[in-house]
Amino acid sequence: MNLVIDKSESQELLIARCRQKQRQAQHEVYDWLAPKMLAVCRRYINDSNEAESVMISGFLKVFDKIHQFAGDGSFEGWVRRIMVNESLLYIRKNKNMYIEVDIEQADSEPDYTKAATHLDTEDLLALIDNLPVGYKTVFNMYAIEGYSHKEIAAALAISESTSKSQLSRARAMLQKQLLANEKLEHLKHQGHGKA
């Protein structure tokens, strides 16, 4: 007789134990999700210590509100949403966020077809991390978390057009950074060929 453990069933049991405030179960959920959730918080908050602090307060909220998780959809997705909301709350509380209200378009749009297609994830995350806070927040919410402009506008208390403008500017800035990196790489390779 083969015993097969259903992963979703074991997650359901773990969640049920968390609902009963069992510390061991909470510890297991933390160990399971903390690395991913720290990465979520870190995408919004530059300072690693602050991001970890926000993640911890997010987990406190997860365990406090776990009875609200109805089991519809992914538990990890539910936790991720809490982490995003905690990160946004941190940004608002610390007034680090500057969302531009004007909707001026850039004079020239960069040529997206010229960007390097072989950028690794770590390099891309570093480029995103260098964006101004407002651009980075909207870019993360839209491009990575999958929020709509309407949801972003509501969460950040801005207009949908401002959200769209911030996303456009974030993309343009990322594109300029990608093109600059590509030129540097090209110059490095040319320099090595002459030696």
Query: What pLDDT digit, counting tens, does each position of 46-75 carry?
Result: 888 999 999 999 999 999 999 999 888 899
Has this prediction a pTM greater than 0.75? no
Q: What is the pLDDT of residue 99?
A: 53
Give the Cα separation of 43 and 25 in Å (integer). 27
Nearest of 128, 110, 92 to residue 176 by alpha carbon:
110
The C-alpha torsion from 76 through 77 and 83 to 88, rounded to 10°, is 170
Query: What pLDDT digit, counting tens, does each position of 109-135 carry?
Result: 343 334 444 456 777 788 888 899 889
State what percent of residues in the chain have pLDDT above 70.
Answer: 79
Residues ≥6 apart with Cβ < 8 Å to 186: none
Nearest of 30, 3, 2 to residue 14 by alpha carbon:
30
Domains in the chain: ranges and CATH:
7-93 (1.10.1740.10), 112-194 (1.10.10.10)
Which tokens hold the place of 136? 């980075």
Give the Cα separation of 12 and 157 in Å (integer). 35
Mean pLDDT of the chain: 81
Q: What is the pLDDT of residue 83?
A: 96
- HEC assignment per residue over 38-90: HHHHHHHCCCHHHHHHHHHHHHHHHHHHHHHCCCCCCHHHHHHHHHHHHHHHH
More confident residue, 99 or 192: 192
Q: What is the pLDDT of residue 32?
A: 94
Give the Cα separation of 131 and 172 in Å (integer). 11
